[in-house]
């Protein structure tokens, strides 16, 4: 599904990650690594929002050569999302839904599932950190991605929302074969995510633990 070739990421000549040639199959993956090991760097590179050496492809669509098509297939929710404070939640969702080619009604279902209807028309400056996190999760599920990247998705969301998130991930994978890379410091519930596999980041390398 996802192929790294001669991938290297450095910040100011300081190497953070080096992945010579690794293929990650379809599935749901938990990316584990200590603080500063490079989990967010990896997800941002795969999302196409960070420069790096080498290339990443999804099937035969290469990030560097087919940037627009690639980014349509990969959705990303940041660990600590930042949004323009003057926009409302629904304005942000409309923007993303258009960019990602979401079908009509998709956003409404996600908003209802996450219990966001009562505040979705309020400006984002008034949202709590959990409300912003839920918005970023809704945005990551819009459109028809093949791969969804969720950086620390469990942070700040309440137990009810977490149950919904587990259901969304499981259904997307079972019904549409959408793959997931999830970074988390907290234990993910393997009963709610059947088939969950691990990828470890250590010593600037990734190891597939399956």
Ligand X SMILES: Nc1ncnc2c1ncn2[C@@H]1O[C@H](COP(=O)(O)OP(=O)(O)OP(=O)(O)O)[C@@H](O)[C@H]1O
Which parts of this chain interact with ligand X (CB under 6 A)?
A: 11, 16, 33, 35-41
What is the token pair recorded at 1? 């599904």
Q: How far is CA 128 from CA 81, 152, 157, in A?
A: 12, 17, 10
Minimum gap (Å) between residue 26 Cβ and ligand X: 24
Q: How far is CA 140 from CA 36, 174, 206, in A?
A: 24, 17, 24
Minimum gap (Å) between residue 51 Cβ and ligand X: 11
Q: Which is nearer to ligand X, 38 or 145 (CB)?
A: 38
Minimum gap (Å) between residue 187 Cβ and ligand X: 15
Q: Which is nearer to ligand X, 16 or 162 (CB)?
A: 16
Q: Which is nearer to ligand X, 36 or 105 (CB)?
A: 36
Close Cβ partners of 112 (under 8 Å, ≥ 6 residues apart): none
Close Cβ partners of 75 (under 8 Å, ≥ 6 residues apart): 100, 139, 140, 141, 142, 143, 145, 147, 148, 149
Minimum gap (Å) between residue 107 Cβ and ligand X: 29
Q: Which is nearer to ligand X, 11 or 86 (CB)?
A: 11
Minimum gap (Å) between residue 153 Cβ and ligand X: 13
Minimum gap (Å) between residue 14 Cβ and ligand X: 7
Cβ atoms < 10 Å from Cβ of 190? 13
Query: What is the side-by-side order of every strand in the sheet holding 53-58?
Result: 14-24, 2-11, 53-58, 61-62
Q: Which is nearer to ligand X, 13 or 175 (CB)?
A: 13
**Angle at 14 (CA atoms; ends 9, 18), nearest 5 degrees:** 35
C-alpha–C-alpha distance, residues 71 and 99, integer Å? 10
Q: Which is nearer to ligand X, 37 or 57 (CB)?
A: 37
């Amino acid at each position: 599904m996802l192929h790294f070739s001669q991938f290297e990421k450095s910040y100011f000549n300081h190497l953070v990650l080096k992945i010579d040639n690794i293929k990650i199959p379809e599935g749901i993956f938990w990316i584990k690594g200590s603080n500063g090991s490079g989990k967010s760097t990896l997800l941002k590179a795969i999302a196409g929002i960070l420069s790096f050496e080498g290339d990443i492809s999804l099937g035969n669509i290469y990030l560097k050569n087919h940037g627009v098509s690639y980014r349509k297939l990969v959705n990303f929710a940041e660990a600590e999302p930042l949004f323009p404070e003057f926009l409302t939640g629904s304005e942000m969702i409309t923007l993303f839904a258009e960019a990602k080619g979401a079908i009509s009604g998709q956003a409404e279902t996600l908003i209802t599932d996450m219990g966001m209807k009562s505040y979705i028309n309020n400006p984002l400056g008034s949202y709590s950190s959990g409300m912003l996190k839920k918005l970023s999760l809704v945005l990551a599920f819009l459109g028809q991605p093949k791969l969804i990247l969720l950086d620390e998705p469990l942070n700040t969301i309440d137990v009810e929302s977490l149950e919904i998130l587990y259901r969304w991930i499981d259904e997307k994978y079972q019904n549409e074969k959408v793959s997931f890379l999830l970074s988390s410091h907290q234990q993910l519930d393997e009963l709610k995510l059947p088939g969950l596999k691990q990828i470890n980041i250590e010593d600037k390398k990734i190891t597939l633990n399956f």
